[in-house]
Amino acid sequence: MDKVIAEKKKITRSNLITFAMVIIAYVIVEIMINTGNVSSLFKGLLVPLCIYSILAVSLNLVVGISGELSLGHAGFMCIGAFASSTWSMIMKSTSMPEGLRFFIAIVIGAVTAAFFGFLIGIPVLRLKGDYLAIVTLAFGEIIKNLVNALYFGIDANGLHFSLEDSMHLNMDGGTIIIKGAQGITGTPKNSNFTIGVILLLIVLFIVLNLINSRTGRAVMAIRDNRIAAESVGLNATKFKLLAFTISAAIAGVGGVLYAHNLSSLQALPKNFGYNQSIMILVFVVMGGIGNIRGSVVAAVVLTVLPELLRGLSDYRMLIYAVVLILMMLCTSAPSWIQYRERIMMSFGKNKKVNGKESN
């Protein structure tokens, strides 16, 4: 019983440290902004930092906790971005309060992405390894190409869709919202750093509590040994589908932030393509697979670093690659992990000794 209580205290302390890190970082940045010590370039990175942190945490739920390799995470981000942006454009000219409209946009983005995650998860999660990665990769590319071919408008007669061009919408006046490859223009810029941090804290709360719940332990048990987990009555497909759907919903929230941070939203390969999914996966791997706090730190470091090294035009990517290798070694190499654990153990012993001396 004492071991269980001690383990719960350890988990709670670790979670509080994660929340405290985010809050302290937010306070420091806000102080720097108010005192004029932040450049316009860095201000432009604040919302993307929140977006990539949210995406990294959501993907870690699939890769680290569920043990499945997904390469289509940018597809769920794309769904959330366009679904929420479409809602905001439809309601833009109404008298609905801006805060309420954005809140509903977040809900729509999350629910739409979760719905597609559920649909794609039913057949996909029966696959394993490389097959799962290939199918999710194809899903992400299909979503991007469908959005590029989609024309959507609204008039007095209702909603109009077309996969050919705007002329085939057959609209009587009204407004064309999605213009194929041109995407959506004029989305309200409701995203800011404060909202991004609040959403990140909410996402961390949901994911960390899920991991430490009975459901999270069941997902990890299935990840470690599916046959043994199923032998004690755990439904592997059900729990994996649940984790996959929640991950897709959180990715949709990241897409909402992304869409409402730009005046023009387009489904370009650099925004929602294969490379974007790989970059999110890099954040997860660099921060440590299964390490939620590490995903946030890696997303921040690897997003800010290229901009900080921009002055070293000839050596920027070389230094970036060296940092990636060092981070991977620190989080994945057994010798580095053992060295880090020895340091933490020695720190813990010193803390106990000092406590005894004070008594």
Q: Which ranges of the chain have pLDDT less than 70?
A: 1-2, 129, 311-317, 320, 328, 330-333, 336-337, 340, 344-359
Identify the H or E element spanning 161. strand 158-162
Q: Of 164, 146, 166, whose CA–CA distance to 272 is shortest? A: 146
* Mean confidence (pLDDT) of the chain: 84
**pTM given for the model:** 0.87
Q: What is the pLDDT of residue 313?
A: 65
pLDDT value of residue 104: 94
pLDDT of residue 351: 47
User: Which tokens belong to 233?
Assistant: 């009555």
Rounded to 5°, the CA angle 305-310-315 comes to 90
Domain ranges of the chain: 49-276
pLDDT, tens digit, 9 for 90 and up, residues 177-230: 888 888 888 888 889 999 999 999 999 999 999 998 888 899 899 888 888 888
Residue 200's pLDDT is: 94
Per-residue model confidence as pLDDT tens digits over 102-148: 999 999 999 999 999 999 888 887 777 678 888 888 988 999 889 88
pLDDT value for 59: 93
Give which of 187, 196, 152 is closest to 296, Cα–Cα. Answer: 196
The 3-class secondary structure across 251-298, one letter per residue, is HHHHHHHHHCCCCEECCCHHHHCHHHHHHHHHHHHHHCCCCHHHHHHH
pLDDT of residue 110: 95
pLDDT value at residue 170: 77
